[in-house]
Chain A
Amino acid sequence: MTTRNTEPRTQSPDAELRKVFEKPALLLKTEHSLCPGCGEPLALRTILELLQELDLRDRTICVCGIGCYTAFPSIIDIDVLQALHGRAPSVATGVKRTLPDRFVFTLQGDGDMVSEGLQEVIHTAARGEKVTAILLNNGVFGETGGHMTATSVIGQHTKTTVGGRDPERHGNPIKISELIAPLDGVAYVARGAMHTPAAIKWTKQCLQDAFQSQLDGRGFSLVEILTMCPTDWFVPPESGTQWLEDNLKTTYPLRVIKAVS
């Protein structure tokens, strides 16, 4: 079988094969330790492609939260300021207020942003800080091994909601995008997903619109991206996409929730 090192050749004398798709230019290494079927690297690819297309590498500072995606800063060719669990929004505020001409985005999971850091993201949004928060929402604390977060859906089995999340015992999920959108100071909020190529493409457009709202100085932007976590949904890797469609997307519909022009 082929490996990446082999350049394919066509037998036809009239044509040549041109490489049309490969790893993002800003990705320094394709090997990472995230699980088979994880949706977070797909979000990373989308973000890196966009940063490259918009020529933002040189002035981007990513403020990264704590989760499985904390493995990414080391393999991407942009400056990354690592923050603590839930604290990326305030750190991003400090960065952007000090260097207003830089492009600043946070990369956070649902456990990070909606559980630990709920206060931070709400205040940063209400203040209208001109940063883009990117939420990788898989409805679970992935890195710690599968525990309920503020976005875990009703009926979802985790190690702390054994048998399924029950509103009586475990409370209800928080739809952070809908919660944040009405705040003055928020310029753009959208929710996308990584479970189909069509959703990926749609989400990329949402990210681009969010990035543009920051570049135009219109205020705070949030893009929530549903990602697959088959490991901590306790399903096989190949079933993650269907699980997202059936269980996560039903609670968190994909849509543009706010877009201030």
Chain B
Amino acid sequence: MNATVTIDIETCKGCVLCIPVCPPKVLEMSTAVNVRGYRYPLLLEGCTGCELCAKICPDFCIDVYRAEARDGMLPPPYEGGGEGKV
């Protein structure tokens, strides 16, 4: 994969701001709820690590990871699959 995010789903308040802001549209609200009763975003395949969801999240829930080549060369080709499944 090129990138992924981790989401602190227990801190999420279900505001949904991250969903429309994601350019490849790989965030989708869950049907399950967290311990506070809020639904939270699920990550689909295709995250590009653009950071927009993390920047718009008022609850600091999202950390963003991008892949780097270990030996300093170009990043590997897209191999599909973000963290987590639908």
Contact = CB atoms under 8 A, between A and B. Distances in A.
Contacts of B70: 13-16
A217 interface: no
B56 interface: yes
Given A14-B70, A30-B8, A34-B58, A21 B63 contact: yes
A178 B59 CA distance: 32
Contacts of A40: 58
A16 B63 contact: no
A8, A38, A41: most-surrounded residue (chain B CB, <10 A): A8
Nearest to B1: A10
For the complex, would chain A's binding face be called helix, strand, loop or mixed by DSSP majority?
A: loop
A11 B51 contact: no
A41 to B, nearest CB: 4
B19 to A, nearest CB: 8
Contacts, number: 137
Nearest to A31: B11
Interface of A: 1-4, 6, 8, 10-24, 27, 30-32, 34-42, 45, 196-197, 200, 230, 237-238, 240-241
Nearest to B38: A36
Given A2-B6, A10-B67, A21-B63, A37 B58 contact: yes
Contacts of B71: 14
Interface of B: 1, 3-4, 6-11, 13-17, 19-21, 30, 38, 40, 42-43, 49, 51-52, 54-56, 58-71, 73, 75-76, 79, 81, 83-84
Given A4-B8, A42-B58, A18 B68 contact: yes
Contacts of B68: 15-18
Contacts of A39: 58
Contacts of B6: 2-4, 6, 8
Contacts of A2: 6-7, 9, 43, 83-84
B65 A20 contact: yes
